[in-house]
Amino acid sequence: ITQLILSRDLKFGVFHLNNTFALQAASESFIRLPGIYGKHSLFYDDTWFKDKLYIRIGFDLRYNDTFDGYYYNPVTGRFQLEDRQKINFFPSVDFWLTIRITKFRGFMKFENLSTMLSQNQLYYTTAYQPNQNPFLRFGFSWKLLN
> What's the pLDDT tens digit per position in 33-83?
889 999 999 999 999 988 889 999 999 999 989 888 888 888 888 888 888
Percent of the chain with pLDDT over 90: 40
pLDDT at position 10, please?
A: 96
Its pTM stands at: 0.80
pLDDT (average), residues 127-141: 76
pLDDT at position 47, please?
A: 92
Dihedral in degrees, nearest 10, Cα atoms 111, 125, 117, 137: -10
pLDDT at 145 over 90: no
**Total residue length of the chain:** 146
| Residues sharing a CB contact under 8 Å with residue 19, sequence separation 6 or more, in sequence order | 6, 7, 8, 9, 10, 38, 39, 40, 41
Helices then strands, counting H and E runs in the chain, come out as 1, 11
Strands (E), 49-103: 53-64, 67-73, 78-87, 92-101
